[in-house]
Amino acid sequence: MDTKMLKKMADTVRFLGLDMIQKANSGHPGVVLGLADVAVVLSRHLRHNPKNPKWLNRDRLVFSGGHATGLIYSLLYLWGYDLTLEDLKEFRQFGSKTPGHPEYGHTPGVEITTGPLGQGVANAVGMAMASKYLARLLNTETTKIIDHYVYCLCGDGDLEEGISYEACALAGRFELDNLIMIYDSNHITIEGDTSLAWNEDVKRRFEAQNWEVTEVDGHDYEDIDAAIRWAKKRKKPVLIIAHTTIAKGSCKYEGDPHSHGAPLGEDDIRCAKEKAGFPPDEKFYVPEDVLARFRCAVEKGELAEREWKKLLIESPYKEQNEILEKLQNPDFNAIEWPEFESGSMIATRDSNGKILNAIAKALPGFVGGSADLAPSNKTYLQDMGDFPNGKNFHFGVREHAMGAITNGMAAYGLLIPFNATFFVFSDYQKAAVRIAALSKLKNYFIWTHDSIGVGEDGPTHQPIEQLTTFRALPHFYTFRPADATENIECWKVALKLDKPCGFVLSRQKLKTLKPKRDYGDPSRGGYIIKKRDNAVITLAASGSEVMLALQAGCHLEEQGINANIVSMPCMELFLEQDKEYQKTVFDPSTKVLAIEAASAIEWYRFADATISMENRFGASGPGDVLFKEFGFTISNVVEKAKEILG
C-alpha cells in the first residue's frame, strides 16, 4: 500500500475542505481534517460510477454527519461527479450546488439528505433493508443483480441521538451483513469532550445489538483497509470504530472543540499546508497525480456498470428481468381497487387496509409496516410474508427510526415504502417527515386514530395540533378522507405524486357515501360534496366531520337556510388549484364555517369561523361523548351557522 500517496490524497481532501470553509467563512473544518484518512481508504473499496450516480448496484455511501460537507464535496469533485472547482468555491452560497448540508436530488452523488444527527444512520439501515429485499426478489444462485454494500460514516453526535439506537437494534435483529458503519470517534462535541455527557461503551452496546465490532487507528491507512476488508466477510452488520483526532493536521486547533464549527483562519490553514508540503498560499490546489488517482473511480465505475448491464442482458432468468421492469415502471392501472357498498359503515383505517393490500398485490415494490401497531393500523399485507422474505416490515416500537428507515428505502430506488403508527405518535416522526418533504421522497406515512374519537385512551392519544403541523409542511400532502370511497380516490392521486404523503385515518366507523360525487372531484383536494341553489353558507370539513356537516346542512335546509357542503380531503392539493376553481368551491357570496376535530387554525384562510379543538386538548371518555362535549353535534353546527349569518 502506497501510504505516502494516500497521505497526499488525504491532505488534498483536507485542504480543499478548509479552503471551501474559509472562503465561505462558515462550516465545520474539524471533521474534514479528522476523517480524511478514512475517506481515502474507503475510496479504494467503494464501487460507484461518478458518471451515473443512479446506477442501481452501486455501493451507497451515507454521511450521517451532514455537517461534513467540506469533506463530502471535496470527495465528489475528486471522484469525478458533476462538480467543479468553481462549485466548491461557491460553498454555502445561495443557488450553489454545494449547500451547507448535503441535499438529495440537488448535488450529484449525494445519496440522502441527512439533516439532524442520527437520521443518516437510520437512512443507511433503510437502504440496507431495501437492498436485502430486492436481492431476494431479483437474485438467483448464479446471478447477483443486487450485491453491493451500504456504508455509513457517523460520529459521536449520531450515536448519542436516540434514533441510532432504534435503527441499529433493527439492523442487528435482521443481521444486515451488507451494512458497514464507520464511527468517527474523536470524543469531541461542541461543548467539549464527550465525557461531559456520555461515557458508554459503544463497542459493547453494538455487540449487544448483534453487530460485529472492530477498532482501528483512524489515521493508519493499513489498519483502516484491513478493517474494511474484514467487514465485508462478516455475516452481521459491522461497526468500525475509527479512533481519530478532530482537526488532524491543524497547527493550532488539533484536538480542540473550537474546530468543530468555525473556520480555522488563514494563518492556521497556511501553517497546516506548509507542514504537509503543500503550497501554503495556493487555494483549491489539487496535485495532478492526486486527481489522477481519485479519477480512477470513473473508469472503474463505468467498467463495473457495463459488466452489470451485461449480466442483465445475458441472464436467462426471464422472471427476474420482468420483476425488475415492474419495479422500475410500476403500473398503477394494474391495481384492482376494493369496492365499498354505499351506506356501509367502515372506519377509514379499515378501508385503508384493504387498499394497501390491493396496491401491494399489484406493485412488487410497494412494501412497508408499522411500529408494532399493524393490528390497530390495519396495515398488515395478507399472505405476502415478512421481511426479509416478504413485504411486511416489522419496525417494533421505533417510530422515529421507522420514518427515517423508510426514507432510506425511498431514496434507494425501486421501492415505494409506507410506514404506520397512531397519528399522535407522528410527533416522534416529525424530523423524518420533514426530511422526506425537503427531499421529495416518495414515502407514505399512515396515521390512524386521527382525533378525539380515540376516546377512552385520553388526551395523550388524541391528536390536536398535528393536522395543522403537517399541512404547514412544504412539499407534503396530508390526506384525511371522509369515507372509504374518498380514501380510494386519495390513494389514486397520492401514488402519482413524487412527494411524500400522509394518510390520517379514523378508528371509528364512518358511513360510506355514494360512490359518485356529483359536484366535484376529490383529486383536486377540496370539492363540493353537496350543492344547493341560493346557498348562503358553506359548511366545510375533512374526515369524520364531513358526515356531521352533511347532517347539519339538512337541518339548516329544514329551517330555510341553504348550505353547500365541502369535503377537504387534502388541503395542500386544493391550494394548488387555480383561484377560479377555489371560488367555485368556496362561493364568495357565502359565509364559511369549518368543522374539524383538531386545532384547525389553517382553515381561517377560507373560513369565517370554525368549530374545532383550538386552544384545548381532548379528554378521556367514549368518543361519541367527547364529540358531544366539545361541540361536534348537529345542533351546535346549526347554531354556529346561524350565528355567523347574523
Cα–Cα distance measured from residue 313 to residue 306, given in angstroms and rounded to the nearest whole number: 11
Residue with cell 426514507: 407
DSSP assignment, residue 451? S
Q: What is the largest CA-CA distance in the chain?
A: 90
3-state secondary structure of 168: helix
Do 218 and 38 touch, CB atoms closer than 8 A? Answer: yes
Cα–Cα distance measured from residue 311 to residue 144, given in angstroms and rounded to the nearest whole number: 9
**Angle at Cα 567 formed by Cα 565 and Cα 571, nearest 5°?**
135
Given the residues 90, 212, 399, 486, the one annotated as active site: 399
Cα–Cα distance measured from residue 87 to residue 448, given in angstroms and rounded to the nearest whole number: 45
What count of other Cβ atoms lies within 10 Å of the Cβ of residue 608? 15
Cα–Cα distance measured from residue 541 to residue 543, given in angstroms and rounded to the nearest whole number: 7
- Which segments of 100-164 are extended strands (E)? 150-155
Write out the three cell numbers for 17: 475542505
Chain mean position to CA 113: 8
Chain mean position to CA 214: 30
Do 542 and 470 touch, CB atoms closer than 8 A? Answer: no
Residue with cell 486547533: 253
CA separation, residue 603 to residues 12, 183, 476, 480 (Å): 55, 47, 17, 14
Residue 232: what are its φ and ψ, rounded to 5°?
Answer: -65, -15
Residue with cell 360525487: 517
- At residue 565, what is the residue type? I
Pairing of strands 510-511, 444-448: unpaired
String of DSSP letters for 329-366? S--GGG-------TT-EE-HHHHHHHHHHHHHHH-TTE
- Tell me which residue of 40, 104, 107, 108 sits closest to 71, measured CA to CA: 40
What is the number of H-type helices and E-type strands within the chain? Answer: 23, 20
Cα–Cα distance measured from residue 588 to residue 538, given in angstroms and rounded to the nearest whole number: 10
Active-site residue, 399 included:
yes
Cα–Cα distance measured from residue 404 to residue 175, given in angstroms and rounded to the nearest whole number: 19
Residue 42: what are its φ and ψ, rounded to 5°?
Answer: -60, -30
Write out the three cell numbers for 93: 452560497
Residues 6+ apart with CB under 8 A from 211: 168, 171, 172, 236, 237, 238, 239
Write out the three cell numbers for 202: 459503544
Indicate which residues carry an active-site annotation. 399
